Amino acid sequence: MEISTPKKPPPIYIHNILNINSMINELKTLDCGGFRHITVENNKVKLNMDLIDGYRKVIDYLKTHQAEFHTYQIKSDKAFRVVIRGLHHSCNIEFMMSKLKELGYEPIQMLPVRHPITKLPLPLFFLDLKHNPKNPEIYSLSRLYNGIIKAEPPKPRKTIVQCMRCQQFGHTRNFCNQTARCVKCEGLHPTEKCNKPKDTPPICTNCKGNHPANYRGCPEHIRLQRGATRHQTIPYRSQPAPGTSSLDKTSASPPELKKVPAQDAPFSDIHRESSNRPLYSSIAASSVNKQGVPQGSILAPFLYLIYTHDIPTPKSDSLTVAQFADDIAVLSKGDTGEEVTTNLQNFLQEIEKWNKKWRTAMNTNKS
């Protein structure tokens, strides 16, 4: 028999608290159970509720009062996500889900996965299951109807998350009730309502630099990514063994900044899409590096230069390549738009070959 320990609700970060006493009094009127609070920044309070029920009451209350806050998803609300390999992309998803139901699982959805660069469909699906003690058994499932499959836990998220509503890091839009900020102009409006003229440079709301707030090279992003990596440990990054009971590896919403599994910046962008690559976070906790360079070490920049010394260089005058750390910009010129695109495309194919050879990948978010 499974004995499940009650899960603690995630913290709630409430902003603009001008009077802590009135906050406490309001909470007491809600009959929401015990709670603890700590002031983390000047007017920002981190609130931990003892009970999930109390947590939900407080969230409802804050929403109806349009309070500025952010939080994270309750662990038990997250689906149990599994990666299914080996099924053809054209397979009948509904039918496969019905077969899973017959086996005793409770599938919520099955999502086909595409290659991040080529966008071609892959023999790969994300399967979300409702919580059920049976779920870990799926890792030993090798057949689904007539198909030979392999079920694996998803890989941990490598980069720090950013909220598409308020542009801050460490939480996601679905759990944010803060004032919307534009990704392009730092204005207090949702990005889709932005009317910044095209020729006006963007302003980042996080660092005030002239780039959109979701630019990975933003100094604020790099700083937080480094911080997240410093708190990272090898066991957290490694894949859980199939059949283990560590259920929630799907974390789209990290519980705390320090627990975000993340790659080191700034030398990792080009390798960021590569997988299963442990870090040498300390001498005591070293492990095998199958591709890329070990990050977070003093040698990383030097190793990175060696690793990328044979990166393709353009053979024609119409292309210029500019490199800074692991960022590569390619400038193409020509008499027609078509010529510009063709030159660029040919060179990207060279880069893609190089990526394949050295088992790295371009970061498509920045391309």
Point out which residues bind Zn ion (CB under 5 A). 163, 165-166, 176, 178, 182, 184-185, 187, 194, 196, 204, 206-207, 209, 218
Which residue, 44 or 85, has its beta carbon nearer to Zn ion?
A: 44
Q: Least CB distance from residue 190 to Zn ion, whole Å? A: 9
Q: Least CB distance from residue 269 to Zn ion, whole Å? A: 15
Q: Least CB distance from residue 44 to Zn ion, whole Å? A: 13
**Rounded-to-integer distance, Cα 184 and Cα 203, Å:** 6
Q: Least CB distance from residue 181 to Zn ion, whole Å? A: 8
Which residue, 15 or 85, has its beta carbon nearer to Zn ion?
A: 15
For 293, residues 6+ apart whose C-beta sits below 8 A from its C-beta are 267, 271, 300, 303, 304, 307
Which residue, 206 or 250, has its beta carbon nearer to Zn ion?
A: 206
Residue indicated by tokens 């509503």:
165
**Rounded-to-integer distance, Cα 113 and Cα 165, Å:** 25
Q: Is 264 exposed, middle or buried (0-12, 13-18, 19+ CB in 10 A)?
A: buried
Q: Is-contact 175 167, C-beta < 8 A?
A: no
Which residue, 40 or 111, has its beta carbon nearer to Zn ion?
A: 40
Q: Is-contact 258 168, C-beta < 8 A?
A: no
Q: How far is CA 120 from CA 13, 96, 117, in A?
A: 40, 21, 8
Could you tell me the two tokens for 297?
């070490």
Q: Least CB distance from residue 176 to Zn ion, whole Å? A: 3
Q: Least CB distance from residue 45 to Zn ion, whole Å? A: 16
Which residue, 182 or 247, has its beta carbon nearer to Zn ion?
A: 182
Which residue, 194 or 331, has its beta carbon nearer to Zn ion?
A: 194
Which residue, 165 or 237, has its beta carbon nearer to Zn ion?
A: 165
The amino acid at residue 6 is P
**Rounded-to-integer distance, Cα 329 and Cα 54, Å:** 50
Q: Least CB distance from residue 173 to Zn ion, whole Å? A: 6
Using the CB atoms, write b or e for 59-93: b if 16+ within 10 Å.
Answer: beebeeeebbbbbbbbbeebbbbbebebbeeebeb
Q: Least CB distance from residue 219 to Zn ion, whole Å? A: 6
Cβ neighbours around 14 below 10 Å, total: 21
**Rounded-to-integer distance, Cα 210 and Cα 207, Å:** 9
Q: Is-contact 128 90, C-beta < 8 A?
A: no
Q: Least CB distance from residue 166 to Zn ion, whole Å? A: 3
Please give the angle made by the CA atoms of 354, 366 and 164, to the nearest 5 degrees: 150
Which residue, 63 or 290, has its beta carbon nearer to Zn ion?
A: 63
Which residue, 99 or 196, has its beta carbon nearer to Zn ion?
A: 196
